[in-house]
């Protein structure tokens, strides 16, 4: 891999030179599409650093010897090292360094909540408050650079001799991709099965184009394929391929089927036309590309007044799509207050900039329909915050007699997802919690069924991309040990 990068011209660190960090400088803001432009398209909002910006930002990093950012990172990426490589113009090498710890850096660089993790821990905050190194943006830069310059060469770096073990991975979301990539790097033969027609799982159907371009996701998957992983789409394990057949044909199986079952509130009127689960709304728009008016075959209802129930990541994605579909008004209806919102700071800010309204301390009670069965409004109830509940957040309590009506022609229920029951219900002996969340030993990721491991949202319920990535990685390590010594005393989950 040769890179023709003139590091002197980029004001970085030349060969043989010592780095002189510029940590007193302000954090380099990322260019974004203007609000006026972006609400009319689905292109990525945050435009990303170019080489000059990336090097400039990387030059702020102290490359400290006891980096707190590494501790705060769920997968412990060697952050100072990769940033140092960027400072020295070794962009692809920086990406390769990240890939030792995280197989999806272009994805995580975009969707990881860095402000609560590595960047919150950055030592630069101590001397230059609120100006931590933009670690996420640098991760994204290095990985995007590599994916657009030299994927195949890079992938060959990792290959080890074939072990002869065959492993099946079910589900090609972040956990499945991460696990497959690591297993392939160890020299195992990996078959990755995906139920949908495109690999990527929630990265394809859940996260919108303007936050995570699908071309980037596919490039990350190309990298995983270049490592030798075979990806087969349109295979619903438990239907297309019996679970038993998979068990019989492989030395180990990793279940990473995600949390794809939408929760609804079970209130009157929820089956009216125009009331969507977040999963359906997002799948139509993101995976099926319903936003492309002309070419895509999948329709979506174009709202005038949209109501989104919930305030997590998903709710903000939905409200921003509703605005892009031309909604005059799009509101987040949330039963708690702004402080309790689980969504990411950046997403909340972007939503507000784009015109989303927040209707807080308010909860839907029922939906109202017109004579043709289409939603025309929602009756909501005001809430008060009481004592903290099990999540530590103050529990919302309905205020009697506070009901009122909000007019709307689209409702999206974004109150969470639970794992799909298809695999648990087709795998005798697989223990679950609450009927669908697969039980594993938290160290080995082993389930109650021999040679079956599980990770990602399938074992936690809906969580973040980085946690799923970590689960995939840790499970791969454990599965590697298992296939080499299956007779060892493997502790099943309690």
- Applying CB under 8 A, the residues found at the interface with other proteins are 195-197, 205, 233-236, 239-242, 260-262, 264, 266, 270-274, 276-277, 279-280, 283-284, 288-289, 292, 294-301, 372-374, 420-422
* Min separation Cβ 234 and other proteins, Å: 4
- Cβ-based nearer residue to other proteins, 297 or 401: 297
Cβ-Cβ contacts under 8 Å for 97 (sequence gap 6 or more):
78, 81, 82, 85
Distance between CA atoms of residues 199 and 192, nearest Å: 9
| DSSP 8-state assignment for residue 288 | S
* Min separation Cβ 273 and other proteins, Å: 4
* Min separation Cβ 296 and other proteins, Å: 5
- Cβ-based nearer residue to other proteins, 76 or 366: 366
292 SS3 class: coil
- Cβ-based nearer residue to other proteins, 78 or 280: 280
| Kind of pairing between the strands at 452-454 and 252-255 | parallel
- Cβ-based nearer residue to other proteins, 257 or 363: 257
| DSSP 8-state assignment for residue 339 | G
Distance between CA atoms of residues 42 and 29, nearest Å: 21
CA distances (Å), origin 491, targets 255, 313, 438, 483, 488? 18, 35, 16, 15, 9
- Cβ-based nearer residue to other proteins, 214 or 451: 214
* Min separation Cβ 245 and other proteins, Å: 9
- Cβ-based nearer residue to other proteins, 242 or 435: 242
The structure tokens 């799009």 sit at 330
List the Cα angle 435/437/443 in 5-degree steps: 135
Q: Give bridge partners of residue 262 from the DSSP assignment.
A: 417
Cβ-Cβ contacts under 8 Å for 116 (sequence gap 6 or more):
none
- Cβ-based nearer residue to other proteins, 114 or 420: 420
* Min separation Cβ 397 and other proteins, Å: 27
- Cβ-based nearer residue to other proteins, 11 or 271: 271
| Kind of pairing between the strands at 437-438 and 432-433 | antiparallel
Angle of the 91-99 helix axis to the 151-158 helix axis, nearest 10: 40
* Min separation Cβ 415 and other proteins, Å: 13
* Min separation Cβ 308 and other proteins, Å: 16
- Cβ-based nearer residue to other proteins, 198 or 451: 198
* Min separation Cβ 374 and other proteins, Å: 8
The structure tokens 């004579």 sit at 371
Among residues 305, 296, 230, the alpha carbon closest in space to that of 274 is found at 305
* Min separation Cβ 16 and other proteins, Å: 51
* Min separation Cβ 272 and other proteins, Å: 8
Among residues 267, 231, 241, the alpha carbon closest in space to that of 368 is found at 267
- Cβ-based nearer residue to other proteins, 261 or 490: 261
* Min separation Cβ 299 and other proteins, Å: 4
The structure tokens 């990473």 sit at 256
Cβ-Cβ contacts under 8 Å for 181 (sequence gap 6 or more):
103, 223, 224, 227, 229
| DSSP 8-state assignment for residue 368 | E
- Cβ-based nearer residue to other proteins, 121 or 465: 465
Among residues 363, 362, 359, 284, the alpha carbon closest in space to that of 322 is found at 284
Distance between CA atoms of residues 457 and 465, nearest Å: 9
């Amino acid at each position: 891999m040769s890179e023709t990068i003139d590091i002197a011209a980029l004001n970085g660190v030349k060969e043989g030179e010592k780095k002189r960090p510029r940590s007193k400088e302000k954090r380099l803001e990322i260019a974004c599409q203007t609000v006026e432009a972006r609400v009319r398209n689905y292109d990525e909002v945050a435009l990303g650093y170019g080489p000059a910006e990336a090097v400039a930002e990387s030059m702020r990093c102290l490359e400290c010897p006891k980096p707190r950012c590494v501790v705060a990172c769920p997968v412990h990426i060697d952050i100072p090292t990769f940033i140092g490589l960027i400072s020295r113009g070794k962009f692809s090498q920086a990406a390769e360094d990240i890939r030792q710890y995280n197989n999806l850096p272009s994805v995580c660089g975009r969707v990881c909540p860095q402000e609560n993790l590595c960047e919150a821990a950055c030592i630069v905050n101590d001397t230059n408050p609120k100006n931590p190194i933009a670690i996420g943006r640098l991760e994204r830069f290095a990985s995007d650079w590599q994916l657009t310059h030299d994927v195949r060469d890079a992938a060959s770096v990792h290959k080890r001799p074939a072990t002869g073990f065959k492993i099946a991975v079910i589900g090609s979301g972040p956990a499945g991709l991460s696990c497959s990539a690591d297993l392939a790097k160890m020299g195992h033969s990996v078959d990755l099965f995906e139920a949908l027609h495109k690999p990527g799982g929630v990265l394809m159907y859940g996260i919108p184009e303007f936050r995570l371009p699908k071309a980037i996701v596919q490039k990350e998957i190309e990298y995983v394929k270049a490592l030798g992983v075979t990806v087969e789409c349109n295979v619903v394990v438990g239907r297309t391929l019996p679970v038993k057949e998979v068990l019989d044909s492989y030395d180990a199986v990793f279940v990473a089927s995600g949390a794809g079952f939408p929760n609804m509130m079970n209130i009157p009127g929820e089956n009216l036309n125009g009331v969507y689960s977040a999963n359906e709304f997002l799948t139509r728009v993101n995976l099926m590309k319903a936003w492309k008016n002309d070419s895509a075959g999948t329709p979506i209802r174009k709202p005038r007044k949209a109501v989104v129930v919930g305030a997590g990541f998903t709710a903000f994605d939905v409200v921003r799509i509703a605005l892009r579909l031309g909604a005059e008004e799009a509101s987040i209806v949330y039963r708690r207050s702004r402080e309790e919102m689980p969504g990411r700071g950046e997403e909340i800010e972007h939503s507000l900039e784009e015109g989303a309204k927040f209707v807080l301390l308010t909860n839907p009670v029922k939906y109202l329909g017109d004579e043709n069965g289409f939603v025309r409004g929602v009756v909501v109830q005001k809430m008060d915050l009481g004592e903290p509940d099990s999540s530590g957040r103050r529990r919302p309590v309905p205020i009697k007699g506070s009901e009122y009506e909000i007019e709307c022609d689209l409702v999206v229920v974004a109150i969470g997802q639970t794992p799909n029951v298809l695999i648990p219900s087709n795998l005798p002996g697989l223990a679950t919690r609450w009927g669908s969340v697969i039980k594993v030993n938290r160290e080995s990721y082993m389930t109650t069924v021999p040679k079956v491991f599980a990770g990602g949202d399938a074992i936690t319920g809906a969580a973040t991309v980085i946690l799923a990535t970590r689960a995939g990685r840790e499970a791969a390590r454990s599965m590697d040990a298992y296939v080499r010594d299956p007779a060892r005393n493997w502790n099943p989950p309690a």
